[in-house]
Structure 1
Amino acid sequence: MTAVASRGGGLRGAVAAEWTKAWTVRSTWWSLLAGAGLMGLGAVQFSIFATNANGNDDPSDDKGVVAVGEIAVAAVDVVQFALIGLAMLLITAEYSGGAIRTALQWVPRRGVLLLAKTAVAAVIGGAAGVLLAVLGSAVATPMLGRWAGFEASGWFGDVLAIGCYLSLMSVFALGLGTLLRSAAGTLIAIFLIVMLVPALLQASDITAVERIADYLPGIAGAAFMRGESEAYEPVLGLLIVAAWAAAAVVAGYAVLRRRDA
């Protein structure tokens, strides 16, 4: 009995428990459904923009053939918030409902608990990101018509880039949720960091201030997914997002370790 118990415990057991919990709450399914809806609508919208630009009378506005993967990338700005909401609820819902006490009774080592939640958030975010990217590409293909471009290597790169970015943003959301413990507070903070603050910085017309925006997770992630940035190589964008995710988890762990549940 002892051997069986030891094999089922530890990090592996904690991950299995968190994985089961994630798929047995309605918020996970609603978040994924919302992500699919947003990706579908976003792909339609950006495809229409592309075809309209190609069909107008201004030759300088002719974008030509558009890679279907780029349409999915363009939709990520909005789609990401569905997966961010899913990831943060893995921890904030337990704080709001008091289930965090039960979770810590079953997994008293708080670092192990947070690591298990982080692993689950990363896997769900990454896998969902890949599937949503495929969905966006599938919707964009008929919408673009003769302007649809598909090259296997480029498309796989776009799909994997979206999966990597959304995996890291899910980890970022989980870490920030652990730090703030509030779903509303976490969502507001992420919206400010990812959307509002970068927009304000980029609108300043001050080069030094605009450069700060390049190192925020939303802008860095977009540079990575789109494969272009004036400030740095696109791969550095992925590392910047990873640094934000790691910092959020470390900060969340510091609070989780010190405070009572």
Structure 2
Amino acid sequence: MTTKTSPVSMEIGRASGGGMQGALAAEWTKLWTIRSTYWGLAGALMLIIGLCLIMAQVTVSNNTDERVQERPGVVSVSDIATGSLDMVQFVVLALAILMITGEYATGSIHATLQWIPPRGRMLSAKAAIAAAVIFPSGVLLGLAGTVVAYPVLGKWGRLDLGDVVHDALMTGLYLAVLSVLILGVGAMLRSTAATLTTAFLFIMVLPVMLANSRSELLLNIADGLPSTAGRYLLNGDGPYPAAVALAILAAWTAAAMWGGITVLRHRDA
């Protein structure tokens, strides 16, 4: 799953008049001329379908099995889809990571920086294209998970159109913002393996470790992490409102992008 800078994309960037418009056109073309994009989106779709089917079946089983003491009862169908994001998000994040680290792996980053010398413009163009693709993809993933979970849940599922639309939009927003964040991390680390490992530790492992501690300070730190804020944004049941959760995500993303641009400006490709 590597990426190469297509000469066609560079010609498109030139034909678009250069500047940010040309950079956006080039990044858009590069993203859709590599197979990893299609495999990644298809993989995310298959994974969320499989996870939602399993989670819906487990919910039904827990409600009907007499041996289970704590039964979930009737649940919102769209909550099944948002609950599957803990695993699905890493497939989506891999797409954003490869937009920058794949070019370092193949050496095509040299051509990219020759055509788009301003480092900030180059990374900002990648971030804009990543968000533009992943936001609607996240919305569709949320809707797909809800659709497959609904018939399995049966009477144990509550389908509310407002909840479905809200959760799908929040899923797309969360994945889009997190993808831009991880793109900035990828620009700093320049390695697919290192960035994926960092994402897993920072998004999955660290919040769980801090949340299970007995220290109030560590619990407060956990609440300020991007994945925790994202969970509160999706579920709406955190210690702070959704607007604050989004602000926390935005702050982390801005910091990651600043770090990525700073590293690009001070280290030669």
Q: TM-score, normalised by structure 2?
A: 0.91
Q: How large is the RMSD of aligned CA atoms in angstroms?
A: 1.7
1:251 partnered with 2:259: yes
Correspondence for 1:232: 240
Cα displacement (A) at 1:152: 1.1
Question: How far apart, CA to CA, are the structure 1 residues paired with 2:209 and 2:71?
Answer: 29
Instruction: Tell me the alpha carbon deviations over residues 94-151 of structure 1, each in whole angstroms, 9 at most, x when there is no partner.
Output: 0111101101111112211111101011111211101111110111011111222111
Question: How far apart, CA to CA, are the structure 1 residues paired with 2:14 and 2:100?
Answer: 26
Following TM superposition, the consecutive aligned residue runs of length 4 or more in structure 1 with deviations greater than 6 angstroms are none
Q: Select 1:241's aligned residue among 244, 249, 269.
A: 249
Higher mean alpha-carbon deviation, 114-123 vs 197-206, is at: 197-206
Identical amino acids, percent of aligned pairs: 42
Task: Show structure 1 runs of 5+ residues with no match.
Answer: none
Question: How far apart, CA to CA, are the structure 2 residues paired with 1:252 and 1:59?
Answer: 49
The one-letter amino acid paired with 2:81 is: A
Q: Select 1:155's aligned residue among 160, 164, 181.
A: 164
Q: Select 1:35's aligned residue among 22, 27, 44.
A: 44
Per the alignment, in what secondary structure is the counterpart of residue 155 of structure 1? helix
Cα displacement (A) at 1:207: 2.1
Per the alignment, in what secondary structure is the counterpart of residue 61 of structure 1? coil
Task: Show structure 2 runs of 5+ residues with no match.
Answer: 1-12
Per the alignment, in what secondary structure is the counterpart of residue 237 of structure 2? coil
Counterparts of 1:1-261 in structure 2, within 5 Å, are 8-57=17-66, 61-229=70-238, 231-261=239-269
Per the alignment, in what secondary structure is the counterpart of residue 8 of structure 1? coil
Instruction: Tell me the alpha carbon deviations over residues 219-255 of structure 1, each in whole angstroms, 9 at most, x when there is no partner.
Output: 11001100111x3123311221121111111100000
Cα displacement (A) at 1:59: 8.7
How many residues align? The count is 257
Cα displacement (A) at 1:65: 2.2
The one-letter amino acid paired with 2:247 is: L
Instruction: Tell me the alpha carbon deviations over residues 21-78 of structure 1, each in whole angstroms, 9 at most, x when there is no partner.
Output: 0011111111111111210111012112211222133796333322111011000110
